[in-house]
Structure formats: structure tokens, C-alpha cells
Structure 1
Amino acid sequence: MAQLFPRSANALARGSVVLLLFLLAGVGAAVFSLARSGYVTRQGLVLEQPVPFSHDHHVGQIGIDCRYCHTAVETTAAAGIPPTATCMNCHNQLWTNAAMLEPVRASFRDGKPLEWNRVHDLPEFTYFNHSIHVAKGVACVTCHGQVDRMPLMYQFATLQMQWCLDCHKDPVPNIRPREEVTNVAWTPPAGFEQEQLRLASLYNVQSKTSCSTCHR
């Protein structure tokens, strides 16, 4: 019986298999990269807000403490968004006619809260408690970045599970004295590692990586 396919068909078949494997690997790598890109994680994304609030100005230049606006950060799961009355504590005397602040004045006048767009928006199946992290000596900048240098707020970290687990597996390097948690300018002194170990023991910091820690 005559041969149906030329000898070159074997090489072509082997080449096709190799090409297919490379193609599948390329698609896998592309999906892997996309899943960790800012397009998916929103890392670095600046969202439009009703007022272009500048942490750079209020925190970095004026020196307002995080807790002045985020009053619940030490006691509840949510840090809290300040009511318009907090803004008006200053802005009923400063920049009273600035067009940029008209939404703030209207909110205060009409008794309707500003509708801010959440920058750090975790999935509903994820539980995060600000007060626990603050009590353990984890600084605001650890998760939110140097907000004192952000003219417009953006998501500093990926907020993906692996990023959380990296800290939960080894939390000690991210611990600082509780009184310095909201201090965006604080830097650890030389040889601070031993003090971090002491603080970890004092604050009862545990390495929690079980699913139920964050998924309840």
C-alpha cells in the first residue's frame, strides 16, 4: 500500500505539537500577567471623586492626623468616611468661595452626604478589620502607601490575597509602636528588628493564615 503522507508530515506533526505547547504557555502567561496587572487589581488607579481631595495637601503639607477624618479606625472594622461637618470645621472659614468646594458646601447645606467612590474596595467575601491592624502596630502607610505624597488618592497595593498572605505569614517587619501607626513620616531607627520582636510579643501578634481569618 502506498504511503498516504510524505515523510515531512512527521516533522510537521511534531512541530505543530511544539507550536501548540508554546501557544498554550503564552496564553497562560498572558492570563497570569493580566490577573496581576493594574487593569485587574486597580493598583495605581485614581478614581473620579465629587471633590478632588488632596492627602498631599491635608496630610503632607498641613499635617492633619489620619484620625481627625477617619475617626473610627482605632475602634471599628471600617476606618470611616468623615461627615461633611468635619470638612466644614475648617472650610467655613477657609476657601469659603472656592468653586472646587461647592459640592462640600452644598452637602452641608442640604444635609446630603457626599458620594465618594471607594478607592480600596475589597470583595464582599473578604473581611478586613482596621482596628485589629492598628492595635497590632500596622501602620496606615503599610497598606495605603505614602498618602502624604498623593495629590489624588489611589490604590497603593494590589490588595490581592497573596499580598495579604505575605504579611500574615511574617507580620513582624511591618510592626511599629502603636503611637506611630498614623505617623506617615516615621522611619524605624537602626537595629529596630529586636524591638519589633518585643512589640510583636507585647501586642500578641500572631501569624494567621487560615481561610476563616479573612473569609467569614
Structure 2
Amino acid sequence: MPQLFRPGANTLARLALAAIAIVPAGLLLLIAVVTRSGATTGEGRFVEQPVPFSHQHHAGELAIDCRYCHAGVETAATASVPATHVCMTCHSQIWTNAEMLAPVRASLASGRPMAWRRVNRLPDYVYFDHHAHVNNGVPCAACHGDVRRMPLTRQAAPMTMGWCLDCHRAPGDRIVAADRRFEAAPYQDRSAADRRAARATTIAIARSGRRLTDCSTCHR
């Protein structure tokens, strides 16, 4: 009787069976890595702006309060970006003829707003309220990182649902005292006052009966 299988057939069969198990697992692992990488989430990316604004210089070296430019952060869902006249409050006096500020001067002369590009972007189906967070003790640095060290603004966090839920499950880990909410310093440098504020807020959330992990908290 002629031989139906060659001597290496058993090896090929074993390799095929192994591939059936390994290839799908490898694809799932690759998909998981890609979806969590900065290429997908945007973490670490820089967005080109009409003017190369430096938080390192303004918030770090000059120690300008976040609220001077982002005036809506305590009162509205959006933090807002500064109008041209806010920039010109200083730059009508200093660096008035700097080439990099030409778009700011053109905006002031024409009355057309500066076309700043969003760095941190959430999907349209996600509701995020800035003032609800900062007024309850979440510091700017918890989401935006230490902007004092950013010559150009980058996205400091993945902004994924899992990342948000990590905070909502344990909000006390990030809450700071009232006088530190608008510091650009990392919130991890926690003081006794920060821990007291976190404990008070955690107790208040528990007494309110609200669950920060409910879908309706962010998806409205």
C-alpha cells in the first residue's frame, strides 16, 4: 500500500494545531497593546498650535495661575481658552514685536479669535464637567500632568474610560486641599491637609448616595 503521509506530517500537524491556538491569542494581545498605546489614546502627543505657547514659561517660570487664562474652569463645564485680549494684556507691553506672536497681533487687529487646537479631546458621547471636578478638590495636574515642565502642551493621560473609572472608584487618591487645586505641581505630593480634604469629600459622596461609577455620570 502506498504511504499516504510523508515522514514530516506529524510535525506539520503539531505546528498547525499550535498555530490555531497561538495566532488568535497573539492577535488579541496585539489588539490590546495597540488600543492602549499612545498611538490610539493620544497620550504623550503634541498638537501643533498657531502660536507655540509654553506652559513651562507661563505656568512654571512666571507662576501664572491657571485661572488667568482658563477662566471658566470654576464655573462651567469647559475650562475655556483665553481670548486674544487676555494674551495682549501682557504682550502689548512685552515681546510686542516678536515674530512668533504675529498670529496674536493679527487676531487682535482683525477681531477673529485665535484658532487654538484642542489637545485633550473626549468623544461627543462623554460628558465632562470641569467645575464639578475642581470645586470638589481634583487638581488640574491630575488630568493635565505637570504643565510647568511642558515647553509645548502634550496630552498627559490616556483619557480612556478605564482611566476615568480608576479615579471614580477611588477619588480620594487624587483630591487635594482647596488651596492646591490650581497648582501645576503633581498631586502625588500629598500633605495632611490634602488627606483631610480627600476624606471629607469621600464621606460627602457616600452620604449623597451617588455612585460615581454609574453609567449616567458620564453618559447622559
The whole-number CA distance in structure 2 between the counterparts of 1:192 and 1:177 is 4
Provide the C-alpha distance between the structure 2 equivalents of 1:147 and 1:116, rounded to a whole number of angstroms: 17
Q: Does 1:151 align with 2:155?
A: no
Aligned partner of residue 19 in structure 2, secondary structure: helix
> Which whole-Å CA distance do the structure 2 matches of 1:121 and 1:179 have between them?
27
SS in 1 for 2:107: helix
Instruction: Tell me, in whole angstroms, the C-alpha distance in 1 between the residues paired with 2:95 and 2:197.
Output: 45
Deviation at 1:173, TM superposition (A): 1.0
User: How far off is 1:189 after superposition?
Assistant: 2.1
| 1:36 aligned partner | 36
Query: Which amino acid in the other structure matches residue 179 of structure 2?
Result: E
Q: Distance in 2 between matches of 1:154 and 1:52?
A: 12
Partner of 1:213: 217
Q: What is the root-mean-square deviation in Å for CA atoms of aligned residues?
A: 2.1
Classify the secondary structure of the residue corresponding to 2:86.
helix
Higher deviation after alignment, 206-215 or 143-152: 206-215
Aligned pair count reads: 216
1:54 corresponding residue in structure 2: 54
Identity of aligned residues (%): 46
CA displacement at 1:194 relative to structure 2 = 4.9
Report the CA distance shift for 1:28/1:214 in structure 2 as closer, same or farther (over 3 A).
Answer: same
Match of 2:106 in 1: 106
1:11 Cα offset (Å): 4.3
Q: Which residue of 2 aligns with 1:123?
A: 123
Q: Which amino acid aligns with 1:197?
A: R
Q: 1:207 to 1:172 in 2, by over 3 A?
A: farther
Matched, 1:13 2:20: no
Alpha-carbon distance in structure 1 between the residues aligned to 2:93 and 2:126: 41
What is the CA–CA distance in structure 2 between the aligned matches of 1:195 and 1:70, rounded to whole Å?
24
C-alpha deviations, 1:124-179, integer Å up to 9, x for none?
A: 11111001001110000000000111000000000011100000011111111223
Between 1:54-63 and 1:6-15, the stretch displaced more is 6-15
Q: Is the 8 A contact 1:142 1:174 kept in 2?
A: yes
> 1:201 aligned to 200, 203, 217, which one?
203
- Partner Cα separation in structure 2 for residue 30 and residue 70 of structure 1: 39
Partner secondary structure for residue 73 of structure 1: helix
Compare 148-157 and 15-24 and name the one that shifted more. 15-24
Structure 1 residues without counterparts, runs of 5 or longer: none
Give the C-alpha shift of residue 6 in structure 1.
Answer: 4.7
Q: Is the 8 A contact 1:51 1:103 kept in 2?
A: yes
- Relative to structure 1, the CA distance from residue 93 to residue 195 in structure 2 (aligned partners, 3 Å threshold; closer, same or farther) is closer
**Quick one: distance in 2 between partners of 1:110 and 1:194?**
50
Offset of residue 180 of structure 1: 1.4
Instruction: Report the counterpart of residue 169 of structure 1 in structure 2.
Output: 169
Q: Hey, what's the Cα distance between the residues in 2 that align with 1:149 and 1:8?
A: 61
Summarize the Cα distance change of 1:171–1:69 in structure 2 as closer, same or farther, 3 Å threshold.
same
Deviation of the 1:196 alpha carbon: 2.3
Q: Does 1:83 align with 2:83?
A: yes
Contact kept, 8 Å, 2:77 with 2:130, in 1: the verdict is yes
Q: 1:34 to 1:52 in 2, by over 3 A?
A: same
Matching of residue 183 in structure 1 with residue 187 in structure 2: no
Please give the secondary structure, in 1, of the residue aligned with 2:202: helix
